[in-house]
Amino acid sequence: MTPKEETLWDTFIENYKVSITNGLDLTTENQLQIQETRGDSLKYVKWALIGAFVFGVPSGILDYISGIDTLAPMGALIGAAFFIASKINQERKKYCLLILISRLPIQHRYANPLDTLLIH
């Protein structure tokens, strides 16, 4: 699950709580969040295609040479899964770093990390 999808589910849960306690209808806000997440998720299709190509071509060559018909599709699937997983992990790291930075006191956000090491 991507960080954007995790945020979407958190928003759904919060909107559900608000709708139960206050009786508000937040369906429109939920639909807007779904559309934003769907648009954001389309970039993973691009990375899956790139991964399928990068792993699928060499697997196809091995498939042709060895005569094992399952190598090309297997390589393409592994490549697509690998590239998607790598992209999601990259985004998770970036997302976690942004959360950590946002929790720092303002005077430390733009400080030189070496100064922090020298002080302690």
* Predicted pLDDT of residue 76: 95
Cα–Cα distance list, 62 to 43, 56, 65, 79, 104 (Å): 29, 10, 5, 15, 51
pLDDT reading at 117 higher than 70: no
Mean pLDDT on 47-60: 94
Share of the chain above pLDDT 70, in %: 84
Q: What pTM, to 2 d.p., does this model score?
A: 0.62
Query: pLDDT of 13-38, one tens digit each?
Result: 888 888 888 888 888 888 888 888 88
pLDDT reading at 50 higher than 90: yes
